[in-house]
Structure 1
């Protein structure tokens, strides 16, 4: 037995060595992958056919890993569904799954691939990381057997999880995360009973893991950032280009700023599925981003980040808005849907103005000056304060300035990609109940512009020098993470789902 004093020395020198090797900055990489799909999405593949498809995708991912490593990257994130694409029922998914153990087993699949049965996918991913001395994040499917006689056990005798795995630079499995919040077309996966708080430490910071729309919910987001104090969130996604407020690059840049952490987002690149938009985001800037709905090619992004980003003081998002009197205006209010939420709007009728629009407890104040008031474009200021039920159920408070699709106010809130109206200045604020507010600016041509506005400590998003392109959308997206749905509230989800799918394709058929 090692004497206690010697144990103390060993622990001290181990801690000293770790701190000595810690990096102030690191090189991050994300890869937006144009995933190769099965010949048809509902075909029942054999294990051999499934492996053949996954190896085709991993061939491409490996090229990205090698390229990132040559550029000095310490970590690379690849997309959700990036290895086998989109499979829409439990039976078709099964041949693509492997049993993924908990990281506590201390396992390096690259050098010990038979320890947990047949794991060729995990072995290859582990070897990609090991052979290139890089941390690698990938999204695959886990299966866990259960007793078919148990009421919660699926009929095929397995739980199936949408899973992120992380391998360190030696190829060791250091993290496994199960996606919690599924969309309507993800019935092939089971939902873990409780959200998981998965982190891992490196010499270049502390990392947390999410998948897709998990980023919109209190658990695991708030505990990861505010309790466990992660420096960087890793986010593989298959995220649609959902205009206006959940447009991927604009929202993810705003989220990193609002939560004050680094965010690495790797999206699928699938034009036919309206998916593109990846990025490397710091709390104070966008380091790199990619959006291209014309090319069929994937894209590797590489950039340097602070290992421990300096956390600026929190913003009091309601201070200014609650301290002023509402702006008086005789302009009539009207209602219109934005992503299935009923907003209260007022139209901007002059080239300069001050407006207040309220819904429930939220009042939004806008001051602005246009270079000119065009007759062929309509802009509105709007407020939404309520329960959002589209891709999940959660409470929002949103203040927004939007360009309408046409000069008809009935089209306000529908997807718009281009504008011609220039703003010389703007100031937007709101009486938010939550400290979690994400500031978004989207310009004509779907350009994000995180450096073209300022967030004041009193909760205003302002610009006093004009923007580099006409404005499509200016938004303060408030997420009431702490507010939950009342127990007696009821929503006809089946009817709502049908309505949402129908409306979604009606809306997007106008621009795609």
Structure 2
């Protein structure tokens, strides 16, 4: 909802939705651990940060106690789950923050009576200690004059054992500072080692690559995801990343108002994913990994990004990429094929479907290769390539991938992509069903001569309700320390009152005329122009009428 609605309501509280999911994970040493995750829409009390955070912390404490009765050993809460996404501008953001002790200090906030320890930290620490489980939260951290979006991990003794500051401020809801370093962060438990991620981390190469190279196979992931259709819906992207990296992801999403926002994703195993359902719990056995030393993990890594941009949001609404920039062909027959090249990617499609079941449904083959990012990163220069079949609302291709009922059954699909393999890239199958679930498919890769790679994706069984089905590849440019960055967010001080360095302004100046993300705001200039024309026409009519009246008066006077 928009902040204006909150103002009208005084105290704005979303209907509380808390989705519980627990999974039993089996380690290589035959040990089990129960992981719990929550989808949660926080309470928000307008202009009252203290009460907002206290109310949400109370909910955390209650749910920690609840899952402890199910023998859960670790629980993950969403990004911005303590504050909500309704954060103020920079000058007032400090009121929503708290200081977080360095994990190296081995502090248990529950045991600290000092006023320097925030009440929320103390209470959650006590809940973790009392119920003997690990707790992962996200909050606004204050250090000197800087404000960070940070994940904080409490051990089963209530000790702060890990702190991870957000580095990529993509689709952000607050005017946070960027962490001075990107730190690959992990923490140890008696039942395994967990990497720490947040927000848009899975859209980037680091810090996940470093954590994976060190042997981390389990990740905790608070997230407030902004879906960009058709290839980056929250559930869809998390599942694809978990499968591509062959890891377990405990995803705790900020509730976005639709089902299947997250859950526990189990990599390539047949047992999963375990999706959150309101009021229901699910458990299963999965092969995990043994503990590893984290002494060599928590280190600064280089983020290979050419630009560090900031995109700020006001809500968790869906966005769409404008696919008119892609090469495309409408699927016109039940048996259709198409082969097309774009840049260094070549896509070949073979489809068998029954379009007589829904003659008005529009499906297209799409091919793309370039620097526009299909995940909605409007001003970030990462490259992507796509070979996909997508359902569109109209031939304008502005709102492709919108989930809705489709009666067209696809019997067989085969997509083949051939491209130049790069050192830094992420490849995955991206599928979306109109029931918000994945579409079963198999994908295999074959190395070809001359540094090329061939990937083939095949539909597993006949499927109605297809929304998106394809191979998506993201390749990362190497970091250029001499590149000029327009991101001045680190110039923010708590006393800042001018808006010259607003990240929103930075980002909009970076946009080109071929902006991919479509939103209602993109039509504002046309609406304003239309209104101006109407007003001008009305003025001309009024002037003409006035002249006619004056002329009649003059004639009458002369007579």
TM-score between the two structures when normalised by the length of structure 2: 0.70
Name 2:434's counterpart in structure 1: 444
The answer on whether the counterparts of 2:337 and 2:351 sit within 8 Å (CA) in structure 1 is yes
Cα 1:418–1:195 shift into 2, 3 Å: farther
Query: Following the alignment from structure 1 to structure 2, what is the Cα–Cα distance between the partners of residues 506 and 413?
Result: 18
Name 1:504's counterpart in structure 2: 519
Name 2:254's counterpart in structure 1: 268
Instruction: Name the stretch that deviates more: 132-141 or 84-93.
Output: 84-93
Name 2:136's counterpart in structure 1: 137
CA offset digits 1:186-212 (Å, max 9, x no partner): 452100122111111223222111111
Deviation at 1:290, TM superposition (A): 3.5
Name 1:218's counterpart in structure 2: 205
CA offset digits 1:26-55 (Å, max 9, x no partner): 22111011111232xxx3x4xxxx332211
The answer on whether the counterparts of 1:184 and 1:391 sit within 8 Å (CA) in structure 2 is no
The answer on whether the counterparts of 1:369 and 1:425 sit within 8 Å (CA) in structure 2 is yes
CA offset digits 1:56-109 (Å, max 9, x no partner): 112222222222222222211110000011203223221221211221111111
Deviation at 1:457, TM superposition (A): 4.3
Query: Following the alignment from structure 1 to structure 2, what is the Cα–Cα distance between the partners of residues 417 and 37?
Result: 31
The answer on whether the counterparts of 1:418 and 1:472 sit within 8 Å (CA) in structure 2 is no
Deviation at 1:370, TM superposition (A): 0.7
The alignment covers a number of residue pairs equal to: 430
Residues 1:180 and 2:167 aligned together:
yes
Query: Following the alignment from structure 2 to structure 1, what is the Cα–Cα distance between the partners of residues 28 and 120?
Result: 32
Question: Which residues in structure 2 correspond to 1:349-368 (within 5 Å)?
Answer: 349-368=332-351
Question: Which residues in structure 2 correspond to 1:100-249 (within 5 Å)?
Answer: 100-114=100-114, 117-145=116-144, 158-183=145-170, 185-225=172-212, 227-249=213-235
Gaps of 5+ in 1: 1-19, 146-157, 292-296, 310-336
Deviation at 1:177, TM superposition (A): 0.3
Cα 1:177–1:340 shift into 2, 3 Å: farther
Query: Following the alignment from structure 2 to structure 1, what is the Cα–Cα distance between the partners of residues 110 and 31?
Result: 30
Cα 1:302–1:21 shift into 2, 3 Å: closer
The answer on whether the counterparts of 1:440 and 1:476 sit within 8 Å (CA) in structure 2 is yes
The answer on whether the counterparts of 1:396 and 1:477 sit within 8 Å (CA) in structure 2 is yes
Query: Following the alignment from structure 1 to structure 2, what is the Cα–Cα distance between the partners of residues 210 and 177?
Result: 8
Aligned partner of 2:467 among 472, 486, 498: 472
Name 2:261's counterpart in structure 1: 277
Q: Give the secondary-structure state (helix, strand or coil) at the position aligned to 2:206.
A: helix
The answer on whether the counterparts of 1:32 and 1:269 sit within 8 Å (CA) in structure 2 is yes
Query: Following the alignment from structure 2 to structure 1, what is the Cα–Cα distance between the partners of residues 35 and 416?
Result: 34
Name 1:455's counterpart in structure 2: 443
Deviation at 1:247, TM superposition (A): 0.4
Deviation at 1:348, TM superposition (A): 1.5
The answer on whether the counterparts of 1:174 and 1:200 sit within 8 Å (CA) in structure 2 is yes
Cα 1:501–1:188 shift into 2, 3 Å: farther
Cα 1:21–1:464 shift into 2, 3 Å: closer
Query: Following the alignment from structure 1 to structure 2, what is the Cα–Cα distance between the partners of residues 455 and 501?
Result: 28
Name 1:255's counterpart in structure 2: 241
Query: Following the alignment from structure 1 to structure 2, what is the Cα–Cα distance between the partners of residues 431 and 485?
Result: 28
The answer on whether the counterparts of 2:60 and 2:124 sit within 8 Å (CA) in structure 1 is no
CA offset digits 1:381-407 (Å, max 9, x no partner): 11222222427442212221101113x
Query: Following the alignment from structure 1 to structure 2, what is the Cα–Cα distance between the partners of residues 112 and 79?
Result: 26
The answer on whether the counterparts of 1:380 and 1:412 sit within 8 Å (CA) in structure 2 is no
Cα 1:72–1:485 shift into 2, 3 Å: same
Query: Following the alignment from structure 1 to structure 2, what is the Cα–Cα distance between the partners of residues 298 and 142?
Result: 31
CA offset digits 1:343-378 (Å, max 9, x no partner): 211222211122222211111222221134542112
Cα 1:123–1:343 shift into 2, 3 Å: same
Residues 1:308 and 2:289 aligned together:
yes
The answer on whether the counterparts of 2:185 and 2:196 sit within 8 Å (CA) in structure 1 is yes
CA offset digits 1:212-267 (Å, max 9, x no partner): 11221122121122x22211121111112332111011111011000111111111
The answer on whether the counterparts of 2:228 and 2:321 sit within 8 Å (CA) in structure 1 is no
Gaps of 5+ in 2: 1-26, 291-319, 447-454, 487-505, 524-559
The answer on whether the counterparts of 1:29 and 1:68 sit within 8 Å (CA) in structure 2 is yes
CA offset digits 1:242-295 (Å, max 9, x no partner): 321110111110110001111111111143xx797121101124331237xxxx
Name 1:16's counterpart in structure 2: none
Greater Rg over alpha carbons, structure? 2
